[in-house]
Structure 1
């Protein structure tokens, strides 16, 4: 079952259960995926985007909502911050399990060894290897500094 199929099944279940907040978030996810499908058609690609692209979209949506929740917290708008966190919970249901700190460090060490990276100039190769293998399973915003420290 593809990620799209899981999303559509969850959408139908939310409709049947009359879960308005969950349904709203699932519709936002579907809209973002359809937007990417349309953009891909404009670029000459055929069909629907892959699950890897869908995972990237979901990861971006989570990051956007985390930033929004943080901004709402700082502004004292706690009800809006909670709404953003509820959306994060729904989106994360479709993301694979995130790597722990120990697993992330081990993955970085392995990627450095596989790419024979020796200096900071090789950071791009290491990050590309990590993204190819762990897309959607690690926060690359936190991994970048870790790779930079290891290569320095």
Structure 2
């Protein structure tokens, strides 16, 4: 190899410490950011730990339930309302538990006792996790007392009957922040109490 040819090939190799040509640099707009473990609620981290434990113990029923919860949280993260708090996660658990109980009732009506029992076991596991979440759950009596007080307050303030339910729900949203309450049931309770008074 001649010296001139060697010099040309050697010159084509970039020197250490120099930046590559602009066309080879990655564009910052292409960088994807992923959720880190610190972005998720602490209760979700506990569920992930229990998932690993259930895998090791080969607890098929609990594993199935936890995988369903993880799948639901992943699906929620892709939508407009991702699960960011323990309260939202408990609401998801309650919703899933209710659908399992409804399915068990339907299976029992169809004469499929085996499937009904499986759904009830799943609902029981979901109930355990919701109860152990650390999120405060209000009993029916406490909820009725809060709603009655809010309805009386709104009526004494002169709120029109058409706007009564919306006004009461706004007042209660602050008082019920961070508590495990089904908003749909709450709205039905507000309508029932507002209509009876």
TM-score normalised by length of structure 1: 0.77
1:53 correspondence with 2:81: no
Structure 1 CA distance, aligned partners of 2:46 and 2:128? 10
Question: Gaps (5+ residues) in structure 1?
Answer: none
**Larger RCO (alpha carbons 8 Å, 6+ apart):** 1
Question: Gaps (5+ residues) in structure 2?
Answer: 1-40
User: Number of residues paired by the alignment?
Assistant: 145
**2:138–2:179 CA contact under 8 A, matched in 1:** no
2:129 is paired with a residue of what secondary structure? Answer: coil
Partner of 2:78: 38
Partner of 1:14: 54
TM-score normalised by length of structure 2: 0.62
Q: Deviations over 1:105-145 (max 9, x none)?
A: 1222244356x255353212323544551676334454433
**Aligned-pair RMSD on alpha carbons?**
2.7
Structure 2 CA distance, aligned partners of 1:66 and 1:86? 9
Partner of 2:143: 104
The residue correspondences of 1:1-152 to structure 2 (distance < 5 A) are: 2-40=42-80, 49-51=83-85, 52-95=87-130, 96=135, 98-112=137-151, 116-117=154-155, 118=159, 119-130=161-172, 133=176, 137-152=180-195
From the two aligned structures, give the one with the greater helix fraction: 1
Task: Go from structure 1 to structure 2 and tell me whether the alpha carbon gap of 1:30 and 1:136 turns closer, same or farther (over 3 Å shift).
Answer: farther
What's the offset of the Cα at 1:97? Answer: 5.9
Structure 2 CA distance, aligned partners of 1:91 and 1:131? 25
**2:137–2:180 CA contact under 8 A, matched in 1:** yes
Structure 1 CA distance, aligned partners of 2:124 and 2:136? 13
**Structure number with bigger Rg:** 2
Task: Go from structure 1 to structure 2 and tell me whether the alpha carbon gap of 1:140 and 1:15 turns closer, same or farther (over 3 Å shift).
Answer: same
